Amino acid sequence: MLNPATGEAIAEAPASTATDVDRAVAAARGAFEGWARTTPAERSLALLRIADALERDADEIARLEATNAGKPLQAFKDDEIPFMVDNLRFFAGAARTMEGKPAGEYLEGYTSMVRREPVGVVGQIAPWNYPLMMAVWKIGPALATGNTVVLKPAPTTPLTSLHLAGLAAQHLPNGVLNVVAGGTEPGAALVEHPDVDMVSLTGSVETGKWVAAHAAQTLKRVHLELGGKAPVIVFDDVELASALETIAGTGYYNAGQDCTAATRVLAAGDVYDDVVGGLAEQARGLVMGDTLAADTTLGPLNSRRQRERVEGFLERAPARAEVVTGGHEPELPGFFLEPTVVANLQQDDELVQREIFGPVITVQRFSDEGDAIAWANGTPYGLASSVWTRDLGRALRVANALRFGCVWINDHIPLASEMPHGGYRGSGYGKDLSMYSLEDYTNVKHVMANIS
């Protein structure tokens, strides 16, 4: 394992094989019947104890994530740890409040009831951009509903997931939560395994297509949270100073390696120049460096390969595109890239159409509301978006027209455990967070009794 802020090796992790996946799946299958029969109160208590352990171990977890994933330590402690703890506690409560239609007589002489039951053994594949948070988002609803889990973190960022497994092992029966490390071999084995009932992936569109196709061979249930290209529509009546601070903060958070990042800005003509200049000013104010330092506000890209991918987008930009600021490798070790603003772009440009997944914010100029909506919807993705205006009618009108799983009004990225997160179109299907995610991890059963 490398520290992306220095490029230096920090640890060794196992490269699990298909045989290891067989063992993990067998353990999950062996534990399933017992775990599925536990009461909601028992599952709830286990999740509460894991949340408490994560909260107590926050300093060590933050150090691991900062060094393995290149995240600024303070931002991870302030933003991600509290949300993960809250998320586990939410699903601890949700385990005890599962909803279904009440029992009743819908056919004379018969009483019907609807049950929600766990799917079974769930294979879960987490990404490298939010290694621990995505692991928590996945295991919370799966365990709350009585499933057993085989989790595979990304090959470059397994450390915090392995640490989580150690904490969870103190509060769960053997085999309920299993973690395998490594890359393509264990991932493919998990997706194709005949004794895995469901696969949940957070990853790229290309990987999602592969998972859906191969999971279909055994008719597994599939849950996909894939890429994004979040449009940020800025109308000419907003208070720009605070808006641009938020947009830049959420565009460059985690070095832009976020499928909901505010990296595709559409600005009304009257404020276009101010938006471009303001975002550039915000970018220049970010501090790159040691991810353990309290004043660092921008971390590195996850790997040399990822930095080269982002740089490729900039190198292929059309001649009319203007790199207003950034775009260069700073004189720092590791895989840093300066925060970048690119202006003078058009709808068909690659920088607008494809997910960059790096610290690059693009800006387009629009002249009317219709163009803004059409361009916002005019990519293959449909995960998240935001609208910035003081006109309530326009805000709701545009929000209704946007084809995205989430639309924020006058903000970007705030999440609540009670609210669903998931995409439309090329961004996948299924929901994380909220009671809706429990539906993805359960089967609906109709039980009918002859009472005559």
DSSP secondary structure, 33-56, as one string = HHHHHS-HHHHHHHHHHHHHHHHH
Q: Which one of 65, 80, 192, 225 is the catalytic residue?
A: 225
Residues 6+ apart with CB under 8 A from 166: none
Token match 């990304």: residue? 154
Q: Which one of 192, 259, 311, 406 is the catalytic residue?
A: 259
Burial call 276-309: b when 16+ CB within 10 Å, e when fewer? bbbbbebbeebebbbbeeeebbbbbbbbeebbee
For residue 107, the surrounding DSSP H or E stretch is strand 104-107
Strands 264-268 and 360-366: parallel
CA atoms of 54 and 236, how far apart (whole Å): 44
DSSP class of residue 174 equals: T
Count of CB atoms situated within 10 Å of the CB of 436 = 15
Q: Residue 259 has which token pair? A: 């499928």
Long-range CB contacts (within 8 A, 24+) of 370-376: 372/233, 372/235, 372/266, 372/268, 372/398, 373/233, 373/398, 373/401, 373/402, 375/231, 375/266, 375/347, 376/231, 376/233, 376/266, 376/402
In the sheet that 104-107 helps form, which strands lie side by side, from edge to edge?
Answer: 104-107, 110-118, 442-450
Task: Check: CB of residue 368 under 8 Å from CB of residue 344.
Answer: no
Phi, psi of 369 (to 5 degrees): -60, -40
406 carries an active-site annotation: no
Count of CB atoms situated within 10 Å of the CB of 22 = 13
Q: What is the largest CA-CA distance in the chain?
A: 82
Task: Check: CB of residue 331 under 8 Å from CB of residue 105.
Answer: no
Strands 8-9 and 340-343: unpaired
DSSP secondary structure, 109-148, as one string = TEEEEEEEEE--EEEEE--SSSHHHHHHHHHHHHHHTT-E
Phi, psi of 288 (to 5 degrees): -100, 150
**What residues are labeled active site?**
225, 259
